[in-house]
């Protein structure tokens, strides 16, 4: 069967059969669809019973519409203008989730149930309008469907945004499929969305104008004059309405984020928040108590939606791309740069209120940790710039830098939780001092992982590294030297004085000293000589001569000399006079001796230890080459050749002589 736009249905009228297109005004029934009345009219003169009658008519008409066959439904949808007016009135006037008008309907169970049933039928009607194929025989071609809904204004961007805020909190999945089907089959809606994004700029300017805040003024720096309670309430409700509508639309159709980013909505949103929210907060604080609670609740909801919109746009252009892309570094540089550009722009533009509130709901550190876990290197300078800027803003407003989970009841840091964090750091870096770890934890917002990474990467700020020696985490061959404990100079000098006094008393006691020295000398003389000599360092000349450079055991041993303290007084004086009269010339100290002399001395020592040292001329070299062939050889050459042939088997290659004889036989 052909698609609906190409199909013709045969009818018989007056005995004559003719073909009628499936999409034709012929199939439209004359029916008047009523406009939906907002619940607020109930308290403004219209009776609740009258409101229920109007809503009941709308419910009955929609129930009839949904039961129509495929061709009649689409003919009624295209050519019945009252149907569109009725649906638009419901989208515009139906109470939102934050509206107090729901309380008026909930006061009457019948009215509330009637509204819920009508709301469901409206949603099903739009679902059917967004479906181009209902069955195998009832369908519209995708190209014709896109042209049909666009040319007949069945859907447009304002309608989709109203559908988002009305049904987004409870039916986001179905709405997501509906919007995807609409934008896929009719790309012109994306152009309309671009124009709508440009109109959002005018919305921000309109609200700022109503508040009396010029674009170039700081947040709440100029008093725009006193606004009435009703005006403040209307502005807060208006901000809540468009912020909630935009958030649910972006949440249901995330692809819209790219179009909003091109329109620079993120910067305009942050600027609007920075200027309007602080002023409205101050105005709400001075409101009467009976309206203050409601306005505070609506204003806080609006703040949350604005922050969620910014986060959705930021993550769509950065975090979401990083999670969906491959591991190639080239594909990941642009999303990380976008994230850094947006956050550094907030700091440089001093969007203080916005950045502080954003960090309360969406921790900036969480994004940094997530990007780091993906193995992506971020510009540490710009990251630190964002962190420092955020801390400075919090300090300016007198906010605590300590997370709420770490605060004790008295406002300080819970010592138990602080000890747990310190232990986490010391598990990997046991040589760090606890005071130093505590300072680092305060700097890194009590994040032990950030402290460990900063220490391992040697990336601590200068004010942390000054005055603290961080142990080298790389293995070194020398003994590890940790932190130097502070020493008390007074205790150190006092210890030295006591030690010196004790040593002076021992030295003054000469009787014990003499006996100890004599015993030690006797032990040295009686000790047997061990011939396990280590000649590893014999090649280095130490002093004027080596102790083993002489032959004989007597010369090798050092002659006995009585210590000076044991000598008689006269011998000591005579020895001093002889030393004074005949001073010995000190041998010349060679910094580097001749290598040939060192080798000769080593060879002499080696032969002397072997006991066969016979100095003589070096053995003569045997000449086996001789002169040219055919001219005869000298006797020494012939003898040398014979000696070489006879002694071939003495060394390696024991069959050389046999092979030489074989060679002579063969050749």
All domains of the chain in start order, with CATH = 1-182 (no CATH), 413-465 (1.10.8.10)
Rounded to 5 degrees, what are φ and ψ at 314?
A: -65, -45
Q: How far apart (Å, rounded) are the C-alpha atoms in residues 181 and 170?
A: 19
* Residue 23: how many other CB atoms lie within 10 Å: 21
Which pLDDT tens digit goes with each residue over 504-547? 555 565 555 556 556 665 565 555 444 454 555 554 444 444 44
Answer yes or no: are the C-beta atoms of 370 and 319 closer than 8 Å.
Answer: yes
| Phi, psi (deg, nearest 5) at residue 13 | -135, 120
pLDDT under 50 in the chain at which residues? 216-224, 327, 329, 404-407, 409-411, 467, 469-500, 528-531, 533, 539-547, 549-556, 572, 579-581, 613
Query: Contact 27/76 with Cβ under 8 angstroms?
Result: yes
Comparing CA positions, the residue from 254, 390, 351 lying closest to residue 309 is 254
37 phi and psi angles, rounded to 5 deg: -100, 130
> What is the predicted pLDDT for the residue at 219?
41
Identify which of 189, 108, 124 has the alpha carbon closest to the alpha carbon of residue 155.
189
| Cβ-Cβ contacts under 8 Å for 663 (sequence gap 6 or more) | none
Q: Please give the angle made by the CA atoms of 130, 174 and 84, to the nearest 5 degrees.
A: 40
State the pLDDT at residue 510.
55
Contact, 208 vs 214, CB < 8 A? yes
pLDDT tens for 68-108 read: 998 999 999 999 999 999 999 999 999 998 888 888 888 88
Nearest 5 degrees, angle CA 428-CA 433-CA 438? 90
Beta strand extents in 304-413 (DSSP E only): none
CB-based contact 111:48 (threshold 8 Å):
yes
Place of tokens 């700020």: 461
Looking at residue 325, what is its pLDDT? 66
Measured CA to CA, the distance from residue 651 to residue 642 in angstroms comes to: 16
| DSSP letters for 415-440 | HHHHHHHHHHHHHH-TTS-HHHHHHH
Q: CA 115, 116, 120, 126 torsion: positive or negative?
A: positive
């Amino acid at each position: 069967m052909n698609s609906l736009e190409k199909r013709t249905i045969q009818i018989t009228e007056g005995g004559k059969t003719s073909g009628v297109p499936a999409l034709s005004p012929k199939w439209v029934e004359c029916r008047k669809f009523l406009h939906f009345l907002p619940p607020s009219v109930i308290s403004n003169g219209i009776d609740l019973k009258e409101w229920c009658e109007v809503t009941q008519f709308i419910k009955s008409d929609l129930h009839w519409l949904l039961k129509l066959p495929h061709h009649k439904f689409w003919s009624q949808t295209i050519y019945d203008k009252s149907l569109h007016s009725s649906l638009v009135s419901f989208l515009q006037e139906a109470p939102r989730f934050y509206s107090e008008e729901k309380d008026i309907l909930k006061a009457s169970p019948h009215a509330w149930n009637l509204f819920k049933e009508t709301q469901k039928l409206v949603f099903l009607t739009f679902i059917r309008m967004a479906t181009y194929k209902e069955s195998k025989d009832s369908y519209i071609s995708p190209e014709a469907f896109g042209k049909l809904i666009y040319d007949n204004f069945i859907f447009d961007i304002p309608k989709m945004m109203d559908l988002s805020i009305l049904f987004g909190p409870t039916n986001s999945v179905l709405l997501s499929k509906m919007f995807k089907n609409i934008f896929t089959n009719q790309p012109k809606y994306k152009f309309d969305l671009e124009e709508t994004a440009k109109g959002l700029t005018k919305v921000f300017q309109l609200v700022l104008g109503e508040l009396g805040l010029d674009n170039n003024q700081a947040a709440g720096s100029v008093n725009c004059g006193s606004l009435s309670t009703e005006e403040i309430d209307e502005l807060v409700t208006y901000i809540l309405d468009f912020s909630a509508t935009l958030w649910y639309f972006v949440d249901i159709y995330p692809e819209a984020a790219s179009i909003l980013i091109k329109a620079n909505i993120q910067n305009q949103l942050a600027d609007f928040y920075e200027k309007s929210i602080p002023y409205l907060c101050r105005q709400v604080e001075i409101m009467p108590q009976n309206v203050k609670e409601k306005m505070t609740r609506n204003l806080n909801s609006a703040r949350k939606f604005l922050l969620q919109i910014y986060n959705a746009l930021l993550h769509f252009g950065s975090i979401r791309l990083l999670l969906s892309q491959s591991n190639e570094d080239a594909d990941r540089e642009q999303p990380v740069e976008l994230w850094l550009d947006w956050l550094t722009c907030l700091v440089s533009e001093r969007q203080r209120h916005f950045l502080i509130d954003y960090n309360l709901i969406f921790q900036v550190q969480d994004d940094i940790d997530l990007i780091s876990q993906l193995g992506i290197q971020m510009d540490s300078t710009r990251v630190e710039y964002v962190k420092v800027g955020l801390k400075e803003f919090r300090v300016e407003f007198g906010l605590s830098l300590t997370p709420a989970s770490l605060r004790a009841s008295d406002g300080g840091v819970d010592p138990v939780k602080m000890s747990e964090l310190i232990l986490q750091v010391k598990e990997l870096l046991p040589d760090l001092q606890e005071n130093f770890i505590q300072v680092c934890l305060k700097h890194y917002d009590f994040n032990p992982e950030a402290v460990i990474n900063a220490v391992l990467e040697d990336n601590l700020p200068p004010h942390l590294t000054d005055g603290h020696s961080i142990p080298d985490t790389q293995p070194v061959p020398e003994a590890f030297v940790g932190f130097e404990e502070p020493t008390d100079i007074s205790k150190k000098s006092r210890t030295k004085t006591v030690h010196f006094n004790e040593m002076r008393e021992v030295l003054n006691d000469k009787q014990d000293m003499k006996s100890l020295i004599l015993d030690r000398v006797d032990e040295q003389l009686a000790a047997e000589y061990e011939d396990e000599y280590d000649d590893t360092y014999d090649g280095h000349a130490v002093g004027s001569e080596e102790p083993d450079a002489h032959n004989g055991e007597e010369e090798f041993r050092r002659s006995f000399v009585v210590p000076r303290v044991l000598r008689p007084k006269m011998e000591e004086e005579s020895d001093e006079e002889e030393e004074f009269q005949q001073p010995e010339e000190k041998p010349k100290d060679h910094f580097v001796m001749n290598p040939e002399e060192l080798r000769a001395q080593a060879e002499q020592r080696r032969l002397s230890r072997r006991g066969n040292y016979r100095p003589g001329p070096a053995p003569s070299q045997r000449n086996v080459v001789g002169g040219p062939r055919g001219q005869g050889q000298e006797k020494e050459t012939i003898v040398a050749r014979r000696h070489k042939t006879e002694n071939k088997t003495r060394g390696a290659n024991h069959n050389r002589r046999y092979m030489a004889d074989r060679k002579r036989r063969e050749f």
